[in-house]
Structure 1
Amino acid sequence: MAVGSAQRRQERKPRIEGQFSSADVEAALDLLQLVDMAWHDCFGPRELEVPAQVLDDVLLLAEGDLAKLIRVSRSAVQDFRDVRVAADSERAKGR
């Protein structure tokens, strides 16, 4: 079942509220909507949104910072494998 952008935004909001300052929540959600559009443009008609694991990687690396979210999101759309390697490295540090 296809999920619309408004529904994705609502589903993501609690997670974003938990990671970003209240002043940045709406901007972060706006950015993720743009990232979904860019993902769709880059990866074809079946890819309507950023895959969950890529989103997890992006949010981990953003560390609750809007500027980092912008940079990491851009990198993920360009080549998500680089973001995956960086996120896996961060996860390994937490073990």
Structure 2
Amino acid sequence: MFAGERLEAALDLLQLIDIAWHDCYGPRELDVPPAVLDDVLLLSGGDLAALISVAREAVIDFRDVRIAADANRAKNK
């Protein structure tokens, strides 16, 4: 989804999401759940700015991201 220089930035952001998730939901949850990560990547659509926004929203309240991702999936069926 992310190529060239954007790949490194996207990976750095995903690492930050993991740290933020741990800080917000740990010690109960140490890692971002795979389903949340899938939702974030889907909604980013390969756009780094969108990835930043969606990632932030996922850490704040992943349920909103889940609803948006499910709507996106339903629309693309």
User: Aligned pair 1:93/2:62, yes or no?
Assistant: no
Q: TM-score, normalised by structure 1?
A: 0.78
> Please, which runs of 5 or more residues in structure 1 have no aligned partner?
1-18
In 2, the alpha carbon distance for the partners of 1:23 and 1:69 equals 15
In the alignment of these two chains, the number of paired residues is 77
Runs of at least 4 residues off by over 2 Å: none
In 1, the alpha carbon distance for the partners of 2:28 and 2:4 equals 33
Identity of aligned residues (%): 69
Residue 41 of structure 1: CA displacement?
0.6
Quote the residue 2:16 is aligned against.
34
Q: TM-score, normalised by structure 2?
A: 0.96
Greater Rg, structure 1 or structure 2?
Answer: 1
Residue 45 of structure 1: CA displacement?
1.3
Quote the residue 1:72 is aligned against.
54
> Please, which runs of 5 or more residues in structure 2 have no aligned partner?
none
Quote the residue 1:20 is aligned against.
2
Residue 47 of structure 1: CA displacement?
1.8
CA RMSD of aligned residues (A): 0.8
